[in-house]
Amino acid sequence: MSLKLALIGFGNVGQEFARLLLSKREWLRGAVGLDVEVLTIATRTRGSLTARNALDLERVLRERESLGTVEGYGPESTGLSTLEIIESCDADIMVELTPLDIDAGQPAIDYIKAAFDAGLNVITANKGPLAFAYRELKSMAQSRGLHFKFEGVVMDGTPVFRLVEKTLPGCEITGVAGILNSTSNFVLSEMALGRSMGEALDEAKGRGITEADPSMDIDGWDAAVKITALANVLMDARSTPKEADVTGIGDIDLENVMKAALEGKKLKPLARAERVGGEVRTRVRPELVGPENPFWSVDGTSSAITLETDLMGEITLIERNPTLAQTAYAIFSDMLIVAQSICEIKI
C-alpha cells in the first residue's frame, strides 16, 4: 500500500523527519505493508520540488546539506507558489512544518485550509494554527471527513493530545500547567549553577534550542503560544496568545535565583490555563516551586506538563532533554495513525 506525502517546510524538523522515513523504510514495508512516498517538498527560501513519483529523499538531503537549497535536484524543481503546489499535488497527507508566525499563525493557517479544500489530510508540528484558528480548522477537517493531527506541537513526541483523546474518555480537563519552553528552563537551570543569563543564553543558542528570535523564548511568547494551543484543544478555550497574561524571565538576575535557592526553592518558567467562571484564562510567568512540586526536578532542556482533570486528579508527563528526533517521531506517529484509517493498515 502506498502513502503519498507533501512536505511543506523543510527546515531542521522536516529534514529530521525525512531521515526517519529513510531509517524506517524497511520496517514500514515489512511490518506495516506501507510504502511512503514524498511527492512534494516546498520551502519559502530554499526552493521547491514536486514529482509524479517519489522523490529520492537521500538525494534531496544531500542537495540541501551541500548546496543549502533543493533546487539543484533536477527537473522536479518548480516555480509554483506553495499554495499552488498544495492545490495541485497528488498527496494523501500534507505535513505542514513552516516556521511559527507569532502574530497570526500565517501562512500555515492558509496552507492547512488549502490542503483541506484540496482533499488532503493534514499533520502539523506548527503551534500557530492551533493557537489562532483551531476551531475553524477542526471544523473544516470534520466537514470534509479528513484527519487533522498535531502531536508534535507541544512537548515534541510526548503523546499529550493523544493521551487525552484516546485514554481519558469522559474526563474533563479542568486546568493545564507546564514547563513548555526549553530555552527558558535551560537558562534558569544554568543560572542556578552560577552562570549569568547572557552566558546561559549563548550556550542555548550554540546548542540550537532557541527560537530563531530568542526573545520569543525569554519574553515568554513561545510558551504563550503553546499554552494557548493546549487550552484551545483540551479546554475549548477559543483564545489567542494575545489574550494571555505573559511575563518572561528577562528581568530575573543571579540574585533572584540565589535567593530562591536559599529558601529551598527554584524559579521555573511556568505556563498555565485555568477555567475561571465561564472562560479559560492563560498566563506565563516565572514561579517559585519547592521539592514537593512535580516541576522541581525538571531542569535543563527538559519539559513537563500537568493535566488537571475532574475524574483522574492530576496527571504529569515529563520529557527529558528532547532532540529533533522526538519531534520527527511525533510526525511519524501521526502519519501512522492517519494511515491506519485511509490505507486500512494494522500496526
**Edge-to-edge order in the sheet of strand 314-319:** 245-246, 279-289, 266-276, 173-179, 303-309, 314-319
Cα–Cα distances (Å) from 297 to 123, 194, 266, 318, in that order, read 32, 18, 10, 10
Q: Count of CB atoms within 10 A of residue 104's CB? A: 15
* Distance of alpha carbon 54 from alpha carbon 38, whole angstroms: 5
* Cα-Cα-Cα-Cα dihedral sign, residues 281, 286, 287, 290: positive
* Distance of alpha carbon 231 from alpha carbon 176, whole angstroms: 7
What pLDDT digit, counting tens, does each position of 305-327 carry? 999 999 999 999 999 999 999 99
State the pairing for strand pair 303-309/148-149: unpaired
DSSP 51-75: -SS---HHHHHHHHHHHSSSGGG-T
Per domain, the residue ranges of the chain are 2-157+325-342, 165-320
CB 135 within 8 A of CB 116: no
Extended beta strands in the chain, E state:
2-8, 35-42, 48-50, 93-96, 121-124, 148-149, 173-179, 245-246, 266-276, 279-289, 303-309, 314-319
CATH class for the region spanning 165-320? alpha beta
What pLDDT digit, counting tens, does each position of 69-79 carry? 887 777 677 78
* Distance of alpha carbon 94 from alpha carbon 246, whole angstroms: 33
Q: Cell 514547563 identifies what position?
A: 179
* Distance of alpha carbon 326 from alpha carbon 269, whole angstroms: 22
**In percent, how much of the chain has pLDDT > 70?**
100
Provide mean pLDDT across the span 205-230: 94
Tell me the sheet residues that pair with 77: 49
Q: Is the pLDDT of residue 173 over 80?
A: yes
Position 96 scores a pLDDT of: 98
Position 184 scores a pLDDT of: 97
**In percent, how much of the chain has pLDDT > 90?**
86
DSSP 168-213: -TT--EEEEEEE--HHHHHHHHHHTTT--HHHHHHHHHHHT-S-SS
What pLDDT digit, counting tens, does each position of 183-210 carry? 999 999 999 999 999 999 999 999 888 8
DSSP state of 242: G
For helices 221-235 and 160-167, give the axis angle rounded to 10 degrees: 10
**Of 148, 157, 156, which Cα lies nearest the Cα of 337?**
148
CB 129 within 8 A of CB 109: yes
Q: Is the pLDDT of residue 7 over 90?
A: yes
Position 157 scores a pLDDT of: 84
* Distance of alpha carbon 66 from alpha carbon 72, whole angstroms: 10
**Of 179, 199, 196, 158, which Cα lies nearest the Cα of 300?**
179
Which of these CATH numbers, 3.40.50.720, 3.10.20.310, 3.30.2130.10, 3.20.20.70, describes 2-157+325-342?
Answer: 3.40.50.720
* Distance of alpha carbon 1 from alpha carbon 347, whole angstroms: 14
Position 69 scores a pLDDT of: 86
CB 200 within 8 A of CB 190: yes
State the pairing for strand pair 148-149/121-124: parallel
